[in-house]
Amino acid sequence: MKRLTTLLVIVIGICQMVQAQAFWLGADISGTTELEAQGKQLRNAKGEPRENTALMRELGLNAVRLRVWVDPVEHGNFCNKEDVVRMALRAKDWGMALMIDFHYSDWWADPGQQNIPAQWKSMTYEEMKQALANHTREVLEAIKEAGVDVCWVQVGNETTHGFLWPVGRAEENMRQYAGLTDAGYQAVKAVYPKAEVIIHLDGGCDPKRYDFIFDGLKKYKARFDMIGLSVYPYWDMKANLTKSWQETVEKFTANINRMWTKYHKPLMVVEAGVEVKKPVEGKQIMVAIIHASKNNTNGHCKGVFYWAPELEDQYPLGAFQDGKPTAIMEAFTEASFK
């Protein structure tokens, strides 16, 4: 029995499936080359050695997300332009749709830190817009020259408070955040005109933060094509946003439907995760997240991506133990047959 997604890839091509209303099952596997450099070997449930991209495909996923850092020289140069191109080629080889996630920082960017790259720190706002556009184009052009198509591009990662602080901090400089965002949008379209530009926030269950950012972007006429959400019941409960995973699922689903009505943009869960130490419950939660995203949003949510399933050690929300996928990943495998 062949999966419908595989048949669609053969017939109409990967990124054209975006317009064909496919539902995407993906994972952010940006840390793959770093794991390989550490000598770690991933295996499938049978214990057979697998490269990470191949393993994701074997598990039924049809898309890959890769982050980009500007100049991570102090962090092994992982997730720089060259590293991303290498991983993008692997995604192509396995017939996976590709999402590129620009952090616009030399290392992690998230709601708690959006640090300006070292080479950009002395720049004015206008100079920073140009640097952002140049960086975006250069990375995407390198991917395109390697013969890889890109379906989606995130302009910023979890930009709940903007990015490139303080220049693009949304609370103080919404106009500048919007201007930087639009510079990224234009750069993406210059290389991949059909790629969908995503603006991604955390806390998918909390409508207030989405209204703040997207009302601001709309006010200052920043363009985007899709809204990206993070959905982590574990962190939502830690932050007292919800009292249970069921409430997270209910609230993020309602938020998706509300935002479609308000902004008329498609949406996607670009990050999700559950507790790896509770794989049975974790599978139950991921089944619920995928089901709600696909079936309870009138087709407006286009997919679900798990963040760093292969990550173990100190990270509590991976989906692997001892280098092998847990029951959590079965949620994706089972969904791929539906």
Question: Is the pLDDT score of 262 beyond 80?
Answer: yes
| Cα within 13 Å of Cα(209), Cβ side | 20
Question: Is the pLDDT score of 9 beyond 70?
Answer: no
Look at residue 18 in the predicted model and tell me its pLDDT: 58
Residue 140 domain boundaries: 23-336
Mean pLDDT of 268-285: 98
Say how many C-beta atoms besides its own lie within 10 A of residue 146's C-beta.
13
Mean pLDDT of 295-310: 98
The verdict on residue 15 lying in a domain is: no
The verdict on residue 11 lying in a domain is: no
Q: Which of 48, 172, 250, 271 is catalytic?
A: 271
The confidence band for 10, taking pLDDT boundaries of 50, 70 and 90, is very low
The verdict on residue 216 lying in a domain is: yes
Place of tokens 């192509």: 92
Give the residue, 327 or 19, on which the prediction is more confident. 327
Question: Is the pLDDT score of 16 beyond 90?
Answer: no
Q: What is the mean pLDDT of the chain?
A: 95
CB 52 within 8 A of CB 35: yes
Written as one letter, the residue type at 209 is R
Q: What's the 3-state SS for the chain?
A: CCCHHHHHHHHHCCCHHHHCCCCEEEEECCCHHHHHHCCCCEECCCCCEECHHHHHHHCCCCEEEEEECCCCHHHCCCCCHHHHHHHHHHHHHCCCEEEEEECCCCCCCECCECECCHHHCCCCHHHHHHHHHHHHHHHHHHHHHCCCCCCEEEECCCCECECCECCCEHHHHHHHHHHHHHHHHHHHHHHCCCCEEEEEECCCCCHHHHHHHHHHHHHCCCCCCEEEEEECHHHHHHCCCCCCHHHHHHHHHHHHHHHHHHHCCCEEEEEECCCCCCHHHHHHHHHHHHHHHHHCCCCCEEEEEEECCCCCCCCCCCCEECCEECHHHHHHHHHHCC
Q: Strand 196-201 and strand 226-231: pairing?
A: parallel
The verdict on residue 252 lying in a domain is: yes
Question: Is the pLDDT score of 63 beyond 60?
Answer: yes
Q: Which of 82, 127, 138, 158 is catalytic?
A: 158
Mean pLDDT of 332-336: 97
141 is catalytic: no
CB 263 within 8 A of CB 223: no
Question: Is the pLDDT score of 151 beyond 80?
Answer: yes
Look at residue 14 in the predicted model and tell me its pLDDT: 73
Cα(163)–Cα(197) distance, integer angstroms: 16
Between 15-29, 107-121, 198-212, the lowest mean confidence (pLDDT) is in: 15-29
Total domains, the chain: 1
Mean pLDDT of 304-329: 96
Question: Is the pLDDT score of 2 beyond 50?
Answer: no
The verdict on residue 290 lying in a domain is: yes
Mean pLDDT of 128-137: 99
Digit-coded pLDDT (tens) for 174-204: 999 999 999 999 999 999 999 999 999 999 9
Question: Is the pLDDT score of 261 beyond 60?
Answer: yes
Question: Is the pLDDT score of 13 beyond 70?
Answer: no
The verdict on residue 203 lying in a domain is: yes
271 is catalytic: yes
Domain CATH code at residue 84: 3.20.20.80
The verdict on residue 3 lying in a domain is: no
The verdict on residue 16 lying in a domain is: no
| Residue-level length of the chain | 338
Phi, psi of 301, rounded to the nearest 5 degrees: -95, 125
- 115 forms beta bridges with 165
The confidence band for 338, taking pLDDT boundaries of 50, 70 and 90, is confident
Cα(229)–Cα(154) distance, integer angstroms: 11
The confidence band for 11, taking pLDDT boundaries of 50, 70 and 90, is very low
Q: Name the residue among 267, 254, 165 with its Cα closest to residue 214.
A: 267
Torsion of CA 94, 100, 105, 107, to 10 degrees: -30
Question: Is the pLDDT score of 292 beyond 60?
Answer: yes
Cα(279)–Cα(248) distance, integer angstroms: 18
The confidence band for 263, taking pLDDT boundaries of 50, 70 and 90, is very high
